[in-house]
Amino acid sequence: MHPQPPYDQAVVARHGWVQALITVLVTLIAMGVVAALGLWAAGAAGLPDNAFPRVVAASVVTAVGGTVELAGGAGGLAGSRAGLTVIPLSVTLTGALVLGAGFLRPLRHRAVAGGRELAGWAARIAVLWLLALLAVAYAARQTFKVSLGDDTLNDLGDVFGVSPEVGFTTDVPRTLLFGLLWMAGVLVLALLVSPRAPLPGRLLRLQESVRPPAHAMVVLLLAHVVLGTLVALVVAVTRGHAPETLAVILLGMPNLVWLTLTVGLGATWNGRVDGPFGLPMPHLLDEVLRSSDTATLNLGTLAEHDGRIWWLVVVEAVLLLSVAFLTAARSPARVHAWQHAVHLAVALALTVLMICLMGRISAHYGLSVLGIGDLGGGLGGKLFLTPQLWSAVGLGALWGLVAGFLGALLAQPVRRKGEIEPRQA
């Protein structure tokens, strides 16, 4: 008779290399499916030279923080230049949710997990993740011809040897580095956010101060995505443009709704849309960004075009107060109202910082023929959107402070952990 292994050892054995491989593959497949459906809805399936699979791979690379470099050429009588910086956050969010769930699944039904055990489980995922990401990065390479417009311009291009081409390739070292950092961030957040995930004994104190506000921020972000998706589906049914709407949902819905979150808090973004580029957002935002060379995007400028935008402040206040109440109700009774306020202020400030860093957009394409047309404009276009970072973070902290305090006051009548019921006389 062999002695039965302890329960914890049996659990450890269930998250080895096979489980790590399944977690990595399912994550990449989920991201690839979302990216492929979104690009298909956007019309990318018709790209020449069978470029569609490679564009999907490039979307997955950028979704985890990797770098895709663009380059172009246009023959001996012309020059071209292109650049693109944008993260398809729908693909990013899908990958984060699947990877986090796969990481936590073998650890369920546990109250405490050793630091060495968690590090070993994460290391297995990291090794396989890097190998898989390396394969995806090498697949994300393509060059294809860009149309000059109508048939006449294309014919002239053939005569003069002007054949604009845009190619993209992956910066493999940067992709592996940022892809690894993205994976590590997802795993750490999964441990911090999940109320039932086991922690090492030394970190159990985080369950009171970190987990409730971290969980509240995830609920807030996902609530915006769900509401934005519902609104987009209603618009698609009532006004048409179903393929474009599906593309926005599957590629950039978080880009849009999380930008809206910061604007509703009072943040300001600067941007410009020029030429054929467009943003995956309502016509109102696109109109503001085309109004000047460097447009200001905030509640005031949007209200000049549509006064109903002020309702956005009310929506954000209700959502923030709701998650603040949820945070206080899930926290131990010994946590004071001012502590709830500070915890939520820090959490919301960090959330706004994340949105500002990941929500930046920059794209340009220029073509110069016989010296006519500037490579930065002319026969091309440009698009950029950047936040006024620290003012946005400060506003997030202020909103979190107020909402956290009010939410704690509202949650006082709710019986919470650590409270003792009064004895009946």
Q: What are 353-401's pLDDT values in tens digits?
A: 999 999 888 776 554 444 434 444 444 567 788 999 999 999 999 999 9
Give residue-wise pLDDT tens across range 191-212.
Answer: 888 877 887 777 777 777 788 8
Instruction: Say if residue 171's pLDDT is above 50.
Output: yes
Q: Residue 14's pLDDT band (boundaries 50, 70, 90)?
A: low
Distance (Å, whole) CA 246 – CA 229: 9
Q: What is the mean pLDDT of the chain?
A: 81
Could you tell me the pLDDT band of residue 76, with boundaries at 50, 70 and 90? very low
pLDDT more than 90, % of the chain: 43
Q: Provide mean pLDDT across the span 308-336.
A: 90
What tokens appear for 122 in the block? 């994460």
pLDDT band for position 164 (50/70/90)?
A: low
Q: What pTM does this model have?
A: 0.85
Q: Would you tell me how many other CB atoms lie within 10 Å of the CB of residue 52? A: 17
Span 272-317, pLDDT tens digits: 877 655 555 667 777 787 777 778 889 988 888 888 899 999 999 9
What is the average pLDDT across 214-237?
92
pLDDT category, 244, cuts 50, 70, 90? confident
pLDDT at 272: 81
Lowest mean pLDDT among 63-67, 225-229, 411-415: 411-415
Give the pLDDT confidence of 38-57 residue by residue, as tens digits.
999 888 887 777 788 998 99
Residue 329 in tokens: 């109700």
pLDDT for the residue numbered 135? 95
